[in-house]
Amino acid sequence: MEQNTLHFESPTFFQRVKRMLDVDFYRLFHTPMFYIFLAIAAIIPAMILGMTSIENADGVVQKLYDNTWQVIAADTPLYAVSDIAQYANMNMVFIFGGIMLSIFIGHDYKSGYVKQLFTTHAKKEDYMISKTAIGAFSMACMCITYLIGTVVSGLFVQASFAVNVWSLLCAIVGKILMSLGWASLYVFLNIIFRKYFGISIVSCFFFGTGILIVGAGALVGNSPLLNVFLYGSSVYACLSGNIWTVLVCLAVSVAWTGIYNVLGTYVLEKSDVY
């Protein structure tokens, strides 16, 4: 070992974030949890479509969906859902993603990794950004495996594939864009409840179900105002979507990401890391 000397390296913001992303992606790809959640995201739509397409004891098929793509998104933006078919679509990925991100961040704290991390150049905002990026990437991947699971199961049960391709594309892109906003919410929740792993998971599940917006929808009706919320705009990305849908999803997702990252950084700055 050389004689230890003082070195006051000042890595740029991009260097710092890149270092952290390198580590987080390495961890993500080397943990079975990521692949398990990808598989879950593929299996769930296949299960839903498969189970709702089989005959019951009376030999009757009680289909929940007329069309395969309804497993991806509802026909129209319905915030106050009246049946499970309108609710159970690609938005479920955001629930799985929340749980996965809780486990991922929980490991940071449980293992003591954060204390190692924050004794380097890492800043609190870098942590928020990196975890948000990991969460968004994971959920985007889950959206894709969900899509694959839906298509395969649709083919298997011979469900209809008739759709306006442009609208479908806008809905899928819109939902993938929403991954960013959802990830930032989950990172924020995990920062708030960082010492209580169980509460972190439960809170992510609670918010991921969009229960507050579903409740609001029931009270105020299908108001477009609800689109300003993450769940609202996730619902807005539906099979009647267009380029406006994509833009709304992008704007809402980026705006909430900014808000949650600033709040999360503030909380981390003002509290004990470990």
Residue number with CB closer to other proteins (2 or 58):
2
The single residue among 36, 39, 84, 269 that binds other proteins, judged by CB under 8 A, is 269
Residue number with CB closer to other proteins (27 or 63):
27
Window 32-71: residues binding other proteins (CB under 8 A): none
Instruction: Give CA separation, 190 vs 19, 89, 141, 157, 185, in Å.
Output: 21, 25, 21, 39, 9
Residue number with CB closer to other proteins (55 or 270):
270
Provide, rounded to whole angstroms, the least separation between the CB of residue 181 and other proteins. 27
Applying CB under 8 A, the span of 44-52, 227-235, 248-256, 265-273 interacting with other proteins comes to 265-273
Applying CB under 8 A, the span of 95-103, 116-124, 195-203, 255-263 interacting with other proteins comes to 116-124
Residue number with CB closer to other proteins (112 or 224):
112
Structure tokens at 49: 């479509």
9: number of Cβ within 10 Å: 6
Total residues interacting with other proteins, rule: CB under 8 A: 40
Provide, rounded to whole angstroms, the least separation between the CB of residue 119 and other proteins. 4
The single residue among 64, 78, 121, 263 that binds other proteins, judged by CB under 8 A, is 121
Instruction: Give CA separation, 56 vs 52, 59, 71, 158, in Å.
Output: 9, 5, 20, 17
Applying CB under 8 A, the span of 48-56, 118-126, 152-160, 239-247 interacting with other proteins comes to 118-126
Q: What is the secondary structure of the chain as a DSSP string?
A: -PPP--------HHHHHHHHHHHHHHHHHT-HHHHHHHHHHHHHHHHHHHHTTSB-TTS-B--S-SBGGGGTS-SS--SS-SSHHHHSSGGGHHHHHHHHHHHHHHHHHHTTHHHHHTTTT--HHHHHHHHHHHHHHHHHHHHHHHHHHHHHHHHHTT-B----HHHHHHHHHHHHHHHHHHHHHHHHHHHHTTT-HHHHHHHHHHHHTTHHHHHHHHHH-S-GGGGGSHHHHHHHSSTT--HHHHHHHHHHHHHHHHHHHHHHHHHHHHS---
The single residue among 123, 144, 199, 259 that binds other proteins, judged by CB under 8 A, is 123
The single residue among 54, 62, 66, 116 that binds other proteins, judged by CB under 8 A, is 116
Residue number with CB closer to other proteins (66 or 269):
269
Window 12-31: residues binding other proteins (CB under 8 A): 15, 19-20, 22-23, 26-27, 30-31
* 242 near other proteins, judged by CB under 8 A: no
Residue number with CB closer to other proteins (22 or 66):
22
Residue number with CB closer to other proteins (79 or 104):
104
- Nearest partner of 123 among 256, 14, 6, 5, judged by Cα: 14
Residue number with CB closer to other proteins (12 or 82):
12
For other proteins, the binding residues (CB under 8 A) are 1-11, 15, 19-20, 22-23, 26-27, 30-31, 107, 111-123, 269-274
